[in-house]
Structure 1
């Protein structure tokens, strides 16, 4: 496929190495040809790099399969998941999962991405619900205020939340940009 057809989240092969597209921009300079500027994460090593593709360049998109799996626990060496149909367990490194580890809650069911028999990542839902475990005290009647304050979630993720959110509350978080969405109902 052409470079203009790639999208965030696609898995591509460049020089024999698998990369996940973390971010991409179509750049049209005043002079010269348009190009695609990408931020890529090496699937196996977890390292990030930037690469520029000509807009007419052919890129190999890799077809991956997904399996529904349940997140069990983290033992320091890896994050353990169980296949919900065969009950097989697999351990995946923090480097492979990337920023997704900040949204993993034990017993949650997610789709894991597989390529040639190896787990290469996790497909996060657009929104997750996490419990606030630490934040400065809320301001009474601050619902109309645009003031934000830092809050630490049960997974260790720190985001900016409205000033009326208190410790112990469960909130919904957008996984695409790690932003506050709303209180959980």
Structure 2
């Protein structure tokens, strides 16, 4: 049987199950009453791991949540087609298809053979986690200026091989590979 977590013990970045769905705690705020006999309330900002919906809800401090059966497994992106995005589970060598909604804006980083972490809930894939950085090729950008310094303070727009547009320093040319942060979607250096 899964362990129970009291609402007052739910902290930022924790996973818990509420109304038969897995949630990720984005923020936790405990409000203790000043009057005697008042109840301590816990306000949670939480994201549903299946629908990605974010909302805030208050719970009594003693409310209990189950620990969700969520696991991260290494997987490789294979391809996308009309049925969705196909991944190969690196542990079981099964292939899984995720829908557009499950993948979300991660499509801007998906390249063939990219290694990701597949999020499974009760054994079924519900989403994915990208690596912190992804190397992508610049397919379109203005020509670099001769003598442009490598300080990177002045930038220009570059279109990457997945269609993602980011700002890069002036010295970056078409055909070069750049390192992009999957969290901030910013240029992080040459690859």
TM-score by length of 2: 0.74
Show the counterpart of 1:6: 11
Query: SS where residue 176 of structure 1 aligns?
Result: coil
In structure 2, what is the Cα distance between the partners aligned to 1:173 and 1:59? Answer: 40
Equivalent position to 1:179, from 139, 164, 186? 186
Unaligned runs of 5+ in 1: none
| Shift in Å, 1:80 | 0.4
Show the counterpart of 1:148: 155
The C-alpha deviation readout for 1:79-124, integer Å capped at 9, x for no partner, is 0011234432111112112222222110122221111121011122
Matched, 1:95 2:85: no
Unaligned runs of 5+ in 2: 35-39
Aligned structure 1 segments of 4 or more residues deviating by more than 6 angstroms: 32-35
Change in CA separation of 1:39 and 1:183 when aligned onto 2, cut-off 3 Å: farther
Q: What aligned pairs does 1:37-48 form with structure 2 within 5 A after superposition? A: 38=45, 40=47, 42-46=48-52, 48=53
| Shift in Å, 1:176 | 1.8
TM-score by length of 1: 0.76
| Shift in Å, 1:19 | 3.5
Aligned residues: 177
In structure 1, what is the Cα distance between the partners aligned to 2:152 and 2:73? Answer: 43
Query: SS where residue 90 of structure 1 aligns?
Result: strand
Q: How large is the RMSD of aligned CA atoms in angstroms?
A: 3.0
